[in-house]
Each structure stands twice: as C-alpha cells, then as structure tokens.
Amino acid sequence: MPDARLETGLHRLRARELVTRPPFLTVPTDAVAAVARAMTERRIGSAVVASGRTPLGIVTDRDLRSKVVAGGYPTSGPVSGIMSAPLKTVRAEDWAFTALLEMTRSAIHHLGVTDGEGQLLGIISSNDFLALERGHPASLVKELDSATSLEGVRAAGARLPALVRGLLRAGLPAIEVTQLVAEVHDRTLQRVVQLAEEGLASDGLGRPPGPFALVVGGSEGRREQTMVTDQDNGLVHASVAEEVAGSAGDYFTRLSEGIASRLAALGVPPCPGGFMAVNPRWRLDIGRWKERFLQWMDQPEGHALVEASVFFDWRFVAGDQAAASDVWSWACTEAPRHAPFHQALAREALRRDPPLGLFGRFRVAHRGPHRGCFDVKALGLFPLVHGMRTYAVQLGLKDTGTSARIAGAVEAGALGSGEGRNLSHALETLLRTRLDAELGATMEGHPPSSQVDPSRLDAIDRAALHEAFRTIRLFQQGLADRFRTQLS
C-alpha cells in the first residue's frame, strides 16, 4: 500500500477548491486604464478577456507592469493588445498538483479552472499554493527564463535543493518531485543553449546553419532526476548541403562545446561515459542517428548495450523538436522487430539483485566506505528502470518515464493491473528513499549519495523498502520468463 504520508493538500484538494471567486471578465475593446482600475477596486491580480463566456486570454498585474508601465503601451489602448493568449486551463476535478505542474511547465502564475462543459469557473494563481507548499516551483522557472547571464542561471538553480526538501517534507510523491526537478533542469538547459547560441553570434558565427535539437537520455530523459545529475545529452541536426557541411560541422561543434562548458560552470559535471553532444559520436544528423540506433538493435552486446540504455530514454529539450521526433518515432517503430535486442536488454535488468537478506533483513556492504549500507539506485532502481525500458522497446512505447512505461505495459496487456500498481508503488518508494538519502547527505556536509543505511530508517520506511524490493524480485522473475533470458 502507498504510504499515507503521501496524501497531502495537493492530492486532497481539487482545482475547483482553490477557486475563491468568479472570474472578472472584460471584453477585448475595453481600455487598459479601465481594466486596471477595475482590478484595483476589486483587489484582484487578473482579468479574463472574453467574448461572451468564451475566454480569449488573460491580463495580469505583471502584464500591466511590464507592457504598460515599462513597455509604454498606451493606457487608452484596447486590453487585447497586452493580454496573454490563450488562457491555459485545468479541469475543476483535476488535483491541485496538476495545476501546480502546469504552472511550472508553462512558467505562468495564473490558470483558468473549467467545469465539465468547458465553462470558466474562476482563476487560480500561484499565491493560492502558498498555504499548501513551501515555495512555488513556477517562480524558480520564471527566474531561470529571465536570467540574462550564466550567473543568473546559477543563482536561480541554487534554490532547487531547498525547494525539493520542502516539497518532500510536505509529503509530495517523489515521482512528482522528480518531474518538477526535470522541469527546472529542462529550463536550465534551454537557457544554456540560448546563451551558447548568443555567444557564437557575438563571435561572428551567426545563426545555426540548420534545424537542430538537444536531446537528453538516462534519468533526464525519463524525468526521474534527483539531486545528482551529469551531462547525458546528444545533438541531432538536419542534413546540410555538401558544400556547407564543413562550416555547419564547425558551428555545431562550437555550440556543443559552449553548452558543455556552461553546464560545467553551473556545477553539472561531464558524463563519465562521454555521453555528451561535445563528443562527435553523439553529434549526428538525423540519418546517422537512425544508423546508430539500428547498430544497437542489430548487435546488442558489450558497450553497445550501455549506449542503447542511455539513448533509448531519448527526450527532446531544446531547439527544433521535429528533428528529435523524426529519430525517436522511427526508433520506436523499428525496435519491436528486434527480439534479440529485447532479450539482451532484459539480461541487463537481471544483472543486479535487490538487497534482500534472510529473516527480513537487508544485505549491506560489510567493508569499505559504505559499510552497513546498500545502494538504492544500483540495487533497486536499476533493475526496475532497465526492465521497464525492455518492455517499452518491445512494445514500441514512445513515453520514456518509468511510470508511463508501466502504464503503457498494463494497457497493452503485457503486465497485469495488480503488478502495475505494485511496480508503481515500488518506484515511488525507491525514488523517495534515494531523494531522502541524497538530501540527508547534503545536510550533513557530504556529497549527495544513494547509499542507504537501513539502521537509520524507521519501521514504516524499512517495511516499505522491503516490500518494494520483493516487488522488484518478482518483476525480474517475470522478465526472465517473458524474454527467455536463460536461452542464448
């Protein structure tokens, strides 16, 4: 069963319960001055621009400051000239967390709430979450988006550990915390790419020679990042004419170097395995990326399996999404045809056993710097993540998150609904344990670590972990049967 401590305000409250008053509606032709005066009189921070009851957009106090006071838009002008459109909405029955995540992803501070027929019930703002959570991720994303220098990006990112700690203490499920962490890292990468492009332009290299995309793999690709991350990324670009191939190659080389150096300056270390766009092996055009994926599927052995494990968590982050989607859609269509590849991936997921000992105890290290501990990432998350990647490859699932892969496998009939629920609970327990361990190490002045000392856990956490590891062991048995890993 899921831990009762996960049931917090964000999952007890529906979005409609955050609505405190009907929306204030204005029409597109109303003058800005009149709308601002009405907002002041009503002591509200937003006005919905509508045609009848159909919302067209929204004007907030931020719009008034940035577009009228600072931007010089005339107060006599129509309010439609400064509205943000379209108005983003959530459904009345959505959980409050859904609204929080939408605000964070879109870097906005106001959302509409609609009923079952799509009619607007009201507006909720980031301030409505202050009583629920310690801090608001949307403000951090906004700060990242507005950063004009690497120092500004660094200052915004420094707020992340405290934010994660607050969300966990408030009881937000760990899988949702990692989704928020991924959003912050995505915005950081997007801003870094923009800064790298601006740097090349100032050096006289101009604009990119063609469409390109930065993609991420590993935990970044799955949106399961914790406090420990490195640079797992690649660059895909459209093919260019032969006569400009040299200059285009030089540009993308310089761009990748700029991205890597800026991430390193932000404290994101290079990938020990070299899975970075700065490595020419991971800086390819669309056609050569497809060839690389096909090599992995045709010859699934040795280091090729390591490479495939990283990039079969492929996810677009910055640049031109079409280039990234072209490669990933092709790979997901091709992968189900390669049964030996599935079998090899399944064997990888069986290489590590959960640390279950006799009589309900955990197997821990008996010597070395981690004596008395086990690695929850290597011995728990590794077999689950790798196993679900195997299912996803066989079924051609495009979603890369482990939760989404579990749901996809259940929907396809490859996993039973009960097993799917158990695996989802196990994933939540393991991610929360890892986050707790990393934050605990940081608070004690040590580098973040996924090493867990079971003697420091309370009875509830030990029981939850034991159940999660039992689930993983049963999952591995089913994996071995389905993919016939005992056969050569």
Tens-digit pLDDT profile for residues 228-239: 778 899 999 998
Question: Looking at the domain assignment, is residue 153 inside a domain?
Answer: yes
pLDDT (0 to 100) of residue 5: 32
Mean pLDDT is lowest, of 335-344, 368-377, 394-403, 440-449, for 440-449
Whether residues 301 and 155 share a domain: the answer is yes
Kindly report the number of other CB atoms within 10 A of residue 83's CB atom: 24
Helical residues (DSSP H) of 299-401, grouped into ranges: 303-311, 321-334, 339-349, 376, 382-395
pLDDT (0 to 100) of residue 487: 62
Q: How far apart are CA 214 and CA 278, in angstroms?
A: 11
Whether residues 172 and 217 share a domain: the answer is yes
H or E element in which residue 121 lies: strand 120-125
Q: How far apart are CA 111 and CA 136, in angstroms?
A: 14
Cβ-contact 240, 341 below 8 angstroms = no
- Which amino acid would we find at residue 400? T
Whether residues 359 and 428 share a domain: the answer is yes
Cβ-contact 319, 197 below 8 angstroms = no
Retrieve residue 366's tokens.
């008996």
Whether residues 321 and 355 share a domain: the answer is no
Cβ partners under 8 Å of residue 12, min gap 6:
none
Question: Looking at the domain assignment, is residue 488 inside a domain?
Answer: no
Cβ partners under 8 Å of residue 475, min gap 6:
383, 384, 387, 419, 423, 426
76-118 pLDDT, tens digit per residue, is 999 999 999 999 999 988 888 888 888 888 878 899 998 877 8
Whether residues 301 and 226 share a domain: the answer is yes
Question: Looking at the domain assignment, is residue 206 inside a domain?
Answer: yes
Last residue of a domain, one of 298, 332, 366: 332
Query: How many domains, the chain?
Result: 3
| Whether the predicted pLDDT of 359 surpasses 50 | yes
392-444 pLDDT, tens digit per residue, is 999 999 999 999 999 999 999 999 999 999 999 999 999 999 998 988 887 67
Question: Looking at the domain assignment, is residue 44 inside a domain?
Answer: yes
Whether residues 372 and 389 share a domain: the answer is yes
Query: Tell me, what CATH number does 222's domain have?
Result: 3.30.460.10
Query: Tell me, what CATH number does 459's domain have?
Result: 1.20.120
Whether residues 247 and 316 share a domain: the answer is yes
Mean pLDDT is lowest, of 118-127, 327-336, 439-448, for 439-448
Q: How far apart are CA 406 and CA 391, in angstroms?
A: 9
pTM for this prediction: 0.74
Whether residues 347 and 288 share a domain: the answer is no
Question: Looking at the domain assignment, is residue 447 inside a domain?
Answer: yes
What is the span of the domain harbouring residue 323? 137-332
Retrieve residue 326's tokens.
């072209």
Q: Give the residue, 215 or 93, on which the prediction is more confident.
A: 215
Of 95, 75, 186, the C-alpha closest to 137 is 186
φ and ψ of 279, to 5 deg: -85, 120
| Whether the predicted pLDDT of 6 surpasses 50 | no
Whether residues 467 and 319 share a domain: the answer is no
Q: Give the residue, 476 or 125, on which the prediction is more confident.
A: 476
Exposure letters 303-340 (e unless 16+ CB within 10 A, then b): ebbebbbbbbbbbbbbbbeebbebbbeebbebbeebee
Retrieve residue 89's tokens.
């909405």
Whether residues 415 and 452 share a domain: the answer is yes
Question: Looking at the domain assignment, is residue 438 inside a domain?
Answer: yes
| Whether the predicted pLDDT of 130 surpasses 80 | no
At residue 230's C-alpha, the angle toward residues 229 and 236, to 5°, is 120
φ and ψ of 60, to 5 deg: -115, 170
284-295 pLDDT, tens digit per residue, is 999 999 999 999
Last residue of a domain, one of 332, 363, 378: 332
Q: What is the residue whose two structure tokens read 């003697």? A: 455
Q: How far apart are CA 199 and CA 218, in angstroms?
A: 28
Q: Give the residue, 72 or 106, on which the prediction is more confident.
A: 72
Cβ-contact 189, 317 below 8 angstroms = yes
Compute the chain's Rg from CA coordinates.
Answer: 25
443-466 pLDDT, tens digit per residue, is 677 888 999 999 989 899 999 999
Question: Looking at the domain assignment, is residue 109 inside a domain?
Answer: yes
Kindly report the number of other CB atoms within 10 A of residue 275's CB atom: 22
Distance of CA 169 to the CA centre of its chain: 20
Q: What is the residue whose two structure tokens read 């008034």? A: 64
pLDDT (0 to 100) of residue 451: 95
Mind giving me the DSSP string for 149-174? SHHHHHHHHTTHHHHHHHHHHTT--H
Between the CA of residue 189 and those of 261, 279, 361, 437, what are the distances in Å? 12, 17, 42, 26
Distance of CA 163 to the CA centre of its chain: 15
| pLDDT confidence bin for 134, thresholds 50/70/90 | very low
Average pLDDT over residues 337-356: 96
Of 58, 117, 110, the C-alpha closest to 92 is 117
To the nearest whole percent, how much of the chain has pLDDT over 90? 60
| Whether the predicted pLDDT of 2 surpasses 50 | no
Query: 242: which DSSP letter?
Result: G
Whether residues 281 and 359 share a domain: the answer is no
Distance of CA 32 to the CA centre of its chain: 38
Question: Looking at the domain assignment, is residue 399 inside a domain?
Answer: yes
Retrieve residue 239's tokens.
């093919």
pLDDT (0 to 100) of residue 12: 63
Last residue of a domain, one of 278, 298, 332: 332
Q: How far apart are CA 143 and CA 347, in angstroms?
A: 44
142-181 pLDDT, tens digit per residue, is 778 778 888 888 888 887 877 787 777 767 788 988 988 8
Q: How far apart are CA 266 and CA 113, in angstroms?
A: 37
3-class state of residue 210 by DSSP: coil
Query: 253: which DSSP letter?
Result: H
Q: Residue 272, exposed/middle/buried by CB under 10 A (0-12, 13-18, 19+)? A: exposed
At residue 58's C-alpha, the angle toward residues 125 and 18, to 5°, is 25
Retrieve residue 154's tokens.
């660094």
pLDDT (0 to 100) of residue 11: 59
Distance of CA 104 to the CA centre of its chain: 11
pLDDT (0 to 100) of residue 170: 67
Mean pLDDT taken over the chain = 89
Whether residues 208 and 74 share a domain: the answer is no
Query: Tell me, what CATH number does 19's domain have?
Result: 3.10.580.10
